[in-house]
Structure 1
Amino acid sequence: MRTTPIAVPAALAALLLLTACAGAGGDEDGDGKRESTACSVDTVSVEVGPASVAPAAGDTGEVPVVLTNQSAACTLDGFPKAALVGISDSATLNAPPAEGAKAQKLTLAKGESASFTLTYERGTPRDGAFNAEKLRVELPGDTSSSVIRAFPWTYGPVASAGQGSHKISVGAYQQAGD
């Protein structure tokens, strides 16, 4: 049996070639979007507060942290890393994820923001409260040279939860703004 070659116009051939290549090259999901790198404290501005301060022992306070991307698109994947640092810098209290919180992956274009909230219960020295001087913020996946940002902690001591833990937790990242 003999076949007759089909003439394909040059424009159609070029379109087919471009379509075949569109799914290749760094797009794991095949959705045409480029994978962005992890957000870095070198390229993201960080603002802490204003807080809803716990006024007395036993009260709950919330400290919002807002991250705004100042560079190329980047990704926040996982939970924020937040820790309180004591007077000696050797005493550190890591904030675990809030009970029931689910981490989500957010991609921030230049100028876009995300936020997370630290929730704590104010304590007293008698209950084994942790006296913090600084809040340390790190971003998941950040491998830059200055991985940590520190901010003054002026919200009072964090109550003990017993067995070496304290009443503090960190929420998941949330898209901020419009």
Structure 2
Amino acid sequence: MRITPTTVTATLVAALALTACGGGGDDGDTAPSGTAADGATGAAAACRADRLTIDFGPSNAAPAAGDTGNIPVTLTNTGDTCTLQGVPATEVHSGGTSWTVGGQEGAAQPELTLDETATASFTITYVRGAAGDPERAVRPERVEFRLPGDDALQSHDWPDAEVALVSAEELEMTVSPFLPAGD
């Protein structure tokens, strides 16, 4: 058998590639695949209202019937790192009637991780209804919401005018998913 320069080159490349792989020993400097090198124990818990500062508003009121208004709600974490995902369970109340407010259709709902002092927000958006027309509008008294994974009820006075009715069971109102806020 005759050895050609191509065979010698291929043999040298293979030998160098194998030695670059290392001996397979553990030098203790790296964590096994899929684990945290710093000793972290897993995902953060859901954010709880009692560990957040919640700023409701001020609203951007709809100026006239048919116009859109919104109420930003800002959440600042005052506790350990926590997560928010989805939309808050939201209801609007007037007299003895309540309406469940749905999330914005088609909006992405990313999971947000809030470190201490980090902020997130969601927005309640509505269409203003015609004043004095109970068939087409309702004047809310309060809005209530719960954060995902937390049973604590947050209740706030409704700051704006009437809200348009889609039907007796539905307001022209939506709630956005949580989004990062601040810097």
| TM tier relative to shorter chain | 0.7 to 0.9
2:153 aligned residue (142, 148, 152): 148
Tell me the distance in 2 between the aligned counterparts of 1:119 and 1:35. 31
Match of 2:19 in 1: none
User: In structure 1, what is the equivalent of residue 179 of structure 2?
Assistant: 174
* Normalised TM-score (structure 1): 0.77
Instruction: Extract unaligned runs of 5+ from structure 2.
Output: 1-24
Do structure 1's residue 135 and structure 2's residue 143 form an aligned pair?
Answer: yes
Number of residue pairs the alignment of both structures matches: 156
How far residue 165 of structure 1 moved from its aligned partner, in angstroms, is 1.5
SS in 2 for 1:119: strand
Contact preservation (8 Å) 2:99, 2:169: no
Q: Please give the root-mean-square deviation of Cα atoms over the aligned residues, in Å.
A: 2.5
TM-score (norm 2): 0.75
Q: Which residue of 2 aligns with 1:157?
A: 162
Question: Does the 8 Å contact 2:61/2:70 carry over to 1?
Answer: yes
Equivalent residue number for residue 28 of structure 2 = 15
The one of 43, 52, 70 aligned to 2:51: 43
Letter in 2 for 1:105: E
Output the CA distance in 1 between the equivalents of 2:181 and 2:41. Answer: 21
In the aligned structure 2, how far is the partner of 1:42 from the partner of 1:63? 21
From the superposition, tell whether residues 96 and 22 of structure 1 become closer, same or farther in structure 2 (CA, over 3 Å): closer
CA distance in 1, matches of 2:182, 2:111: 17
Tell me how far apart the structure 2 counterparts of residues 73 and 84 of structure 1 sit (CA, whole Å).
Answer: 30
**Residue 58 of structure 1 aligns with which residue?**
66
Matched ranges for 1:26-105 at <5 A: 34-88=42-96, 91-105=97-111
Instruction: Classify 1:103/1:13 alpha carbon distance in 2 versus 1 (closer, same or farther; 3 Å).
Output: closer
Amino acid at match of 1:51: S
Q: Is contact 2:85–2:177 with CA below 8 Å preserved after alignment?
A: no
- Post-superposition offset of 1:21: 9.2
Distance (whole Å) between structure 1 residues aligned to residue 26 and residue 104 of structure 2? 54
Q: Deviations over 1:88-132 (max 9, x none)?
A: 3xx211211112212111010110000011110111342332321
Contact 2:74 2:120 in 1 (8 A): yes
Candidates 111, 123, 136, aligned match of 1:117? 123
CA contact (8 A) 1:87 1:131 kept: no
Which has more radius of gyration? 2
Checking the alignment, whether the CA contact within 8 Å between 1:83 and 1:136 is kept in structure 2 is yes
Query: What amino acid is the match of 1:15?
Result: G
Judge conservation of contact 2:87–2:176 (CA < 8 Å) in 1: yes
